[in-house]
A = this chain, B = another copy of it.
Amino acid sequence: MSSESKTFDLIIIGSGPGGYWPAILSAQRGLSVALIEKKDLGGTCLNRGCIPTKTLLHEASFLVRMNPSGFLKPQEEILSYFKKTMEKKDQAIRQVVSGLENLLRRDRITLFRGEASFSHPREVLIKKEGKIIEKLEAQWILIASGAIPAEINTIKRDGQWVIDSDDVLRMEEIPSSLAIIGGGRRGVEFATFFKSFGTEVTLIEKENRILSTMDREISIRYKGLLTKNKVRVLTETEVLASEIDEKNKSIQLTLIQKGNKERVEIQKVLIVAERRGDTEGLGLEKASVARSKGFISVDLSMKTSTPNIYAVGDVVGKGFYAHKAFYEGRIAVENILGKKSEVNYRAIPICLYGNPEASSIGLTEEEAVREYGEVEVGKFPFMACGRSIAEGAQEGMVKIISEKKYGEVLGVHILGPMATELIHLGAMAMKYEIGVEEIKELVFAHPTFSEAFFEGALDTYGEAIHMMKG
């Protein structure tokens, strides 16, 4: 190693969305930035999360659309489509990673490959194979080291029978049957993905409903859609034990649901359950950075327990979304630059990219009732929306929750086509206090899915145009 330490304004640990975005933001504002990555440039989002899974889900949605028309009958054709899907996924990863390399060069951000480790609150060592190869100093340090799967006691990943989402991205065969442990967004996304390719899917969730962070109605309707689509959904269920049957190339799972045991035989098990902050080897104790329940503790300005050290993204918990990391990263940079900014977690949309999509922003109906007492609920089903009818995408609805007195929008929840895009109308309305009455004054193009948002606002006062009263 060079014995001299290199000095920067800001050192960022981790090159995922919580790392590269604040790196670019602060470089654009004149700071010198070092970015440290121990594994894949772009982190989980670009290599193992958002981007590759979106490619898989998008291609699967085509298969669902096309296959009832009988285009891919024999199993070999479906397998060939699966392999092409995997290739497209690799191609998408290559494009976004090479794009990111260009952005870092554009903004003169110095990239270091290796493991970061604090020696004190303003110094980070970079190690490769245990050896220190660089010593960096900076006034500010931002930790965006991401998260890793938390282990479950009763079943362990082996990469062959019991896999995680990283293993899915390397799959070469379509499993005939699959149990997915974890009925959150990612579990549901993988359930619809594998179902599209003909896999028998069992979705196992320990809470009393899947998608427990979303509005109860969306989660109940989604369960209904999965069940209709022959995905077996088991709530309040946990894995008691697992046993690999090498001879039959299968796994025996012992499940427990409300005290009742059940044994199921399955080809593979995919674990997409809990995650914890990836802080291994960071030497947080040397920088006095405190953790709580597996994540780094931060305040609303994204500051850790050590004033010059910030942390953002998956490593601080509170949901695992790339755009949450972007947003927290922006807030951290604003604070570093002397502006007092705080994160507002209610402004963050939650998106599910399964088939169909779902999304959520602000308060759920239950939360809104708890906080405001009485609220208004406007709803519009996609089956009454012209574009949905024209395109044969009629599942789901838009639901707008508003406050009674002024019609302020408190929450928007969408299940159905383009839900992950339409949610931004809710985001804009909530942020800039565009109430239900104001939404009614807008001109929405016909036919669009966005009209369902408009009619949801109209329905608040029973004025929806294209809907039969229930």
Is A171's CB within 8 Å of the partner chain B?
A: no
**Contact, CB under 8 Å: B449 / A390:** no
* Residues of B close to A375: CB separation below 8 A: none
**Contact, CB under 8 Å: A66 / B71:** yes
Contact among B54, B84, B389, B449 for A391, CB-based, below 8 A: B54
**Contact, CB under 8 Å: A442 / B428:** yes
Contact among B95, B102, B349, B390 for A54, CB-based, below 8 A: B390
Taking chain A's interface residues, is the majority helix, strand, or loop, or is none over half, making it mixed?
A: helix
**Contact, CB under 8 Å: A445 / B391:** no
**Contact, CB under 8 Å: A421 / B422:** yes
Is A293's CB within 8 Å of the partner chain B?
A: no
Give, as a whole number of angstroms, the nearest-CB distance from A336 to chain B. 17
Is A204's CB within 8 Å of the partner chain B?
A: no
**Contact, CB under 8 Å: B441 / A389:** no
CA distance A84 to B79 in the complex (A): 25
**Contact, CB under 8 Å: B92 / A463:** no
**Contact, CB under 8 Å: A450 / B421:** yes
CA distance A81 to B28 in the complex (A): 51
**Contact, CB under 8 Å: A441 / B446:** no
**Contact, CB under 8 Å: B466 / A449:** no
Contact among B106, B384, B421 for A99, CB-based, below 8 A: B384
**Contact, CB under 8 Å: B386 / A51:** yes
* Residues of B close to A323: CB separation below 8 A: 443-446
CA distance A384 to B88 in the complex (A): 17
Is A153's CB within 8 Å of the partner chain B?
A: no
**Contact, CB under 8 Å: B65 / A348:** no
Given A66-B66, A418-B421, A424-B450, A51 and B444 contact (CB-CB distance below 8 Å): no
Contact among B28, B71, B449 for A421, CB-based, below 8 A: B449
Interface residues of A (CB under 8 A from B): 17, 21, 24-25, 28, 45, 50-52, 54-55, 58, 62, 65-66, 69, 71-72, 81, 84, 88, 92, 95-96, 99, 102-103, 106, 321-324, 326-327, 347-351, 359, 384, 386-387, 389-392, 418, 420-425, 427-429, 431-432, 434, 438, 441-450, 453, 463, 465-466, 468-469
**Contact, CB under 8 Å: A441 / B447:** no
* Residues of B close to A390: CB separation below 8 A: 50-52, 54-55, 58, 92
CA distance A351 to B66 in the complex (A): 26
* Residues of B close to A106: CB separation below 8 A: 468-469
**Contact, CB under 8 Å: B321 / A51:** no
CA distance A349 to B58 in the complex (A): 27
Jot down 21 A-B pairs with beta carbons below 8 A, ordered by A. Answer: A25-B465, A50-B390, A55-B390, A71-B72, A96-B386, A102-B468, A103-B466, A103-B468, A321-B446, A326-B446, A347-B442, A351-B448, A359-B445, A421-B421, A421-B449, A423-B445, A424-B444, A425-B428, A427-B444, A428-B442, A432-B438
